[in-house]
Structure 1
């Protein structure tokens, strides 16, 4: 009888594919996220883009049947250049997965998140809209109107159009070199505005109980770019999913250097633009 009740209330498969991207600076957080996925949502498909991370560091996860790890190694002139690259490289991965007919519902997670419940619960949201994200459309700064830590895209023509336009907006803004760490959010907002005007985007605004820092959220989100030293509750949650005990939750994100200028350019992403059909030459 107990087993029957468990099965009755167990979230039905929503064919969710998770995309996660992180570099060597966020390796500890990335592992924590993946461990939480394995424990609390073991049946979802996961695609991991690992940049400048030795294969052995993620071997444990790559051996799991429903987890695919894509390793990419690239040289950078400065740590902040790598940060800008990683921020925008995932746009191409998200678009590639969203255009793939075998991907039904796509959920992109930042490394600074912990999965606390089965992510198949998001299936109801994918039925309601094309695009699921924490949105603040009236924010003064365009770059802060959409928050990228959790992003959902249903298998709709509008969602596919949105990610295609996202790449185009990135191409457009990179007519001039960029330094903003919010370039992904800014270009996504511009893509959303354009596609919404032309086709109408069904936006589902994420909040509690789906994401947040409260006890009962499905995904516990936090900001690793801000040093969480002293946040004992967060540390307790993080340490549930790591073999390497953390004494604090540090920010490893390289800051924009003061002594020299570091920019993101089209050429740094040339191979990905070319695969999309845009030539950086």
Structure 2
């Protein structure tokens, strides 16, 4: 259908402000010293499913593939990415913006924990202040040249996910879940929010999917049998991986050594991202 246009052929940009036919965009301009090609959100319908673990794993994998990668930690009140990589602030700023801190494996990271004087101080802010901070992580941070920026969002469907979807050019999201009784409802909520915001869902990652017995190698379904395949099918999306409960990952994260993580469970997610890059390289864009 043709786009509706103003009937006044002599109108100007100024006179058209407020015209009902004018499209509204809430997108925030990225820092002029940044060129981020693909923004991928990592979301979950509830907390405690290992969303940051999946975010960091995807960032590590894409870095291993030779891509230039960053992580925007949008979980303002519960940031964990710096701790996982052993990063500490304060982040440095100059006249051009805030410079992200870089992990041992070359991932650029920005998080509130890299800006506050004491990492253990609580963030007691109202929603609008938190939302504005997320916008500043896009507009004020000098990301430089990045192929992928992963946005680690807080759980749920509240202010921050809404702000990210409206303010950043998110090309797709990865939904993180766990094999628990309420997973269908929770995944569906996250899926429906993305659908309402017209954000493509790249697929679902099931974390804590099983535990491998260290003695016999048997897979044990600690949280019950997984139904993620049928849930993904009902939503017409893909399962991008099933990550097990792995104590060694918790040890790496707690010790700030997550740069050394080696993953073999998210190959489908990596291929999906690689396909996105091949189909939309966004080279030499204005």
TM-score (norm 2): 0.30
Q: Between Structure 1 and Structure 2, whose CA radius of gyration is higher?
A: 2
- Greater RCO (Cα-Cα under 8 Å, separation 6 or more): 2
Higher helix share: 1
TM-score (norm 1): 0.31
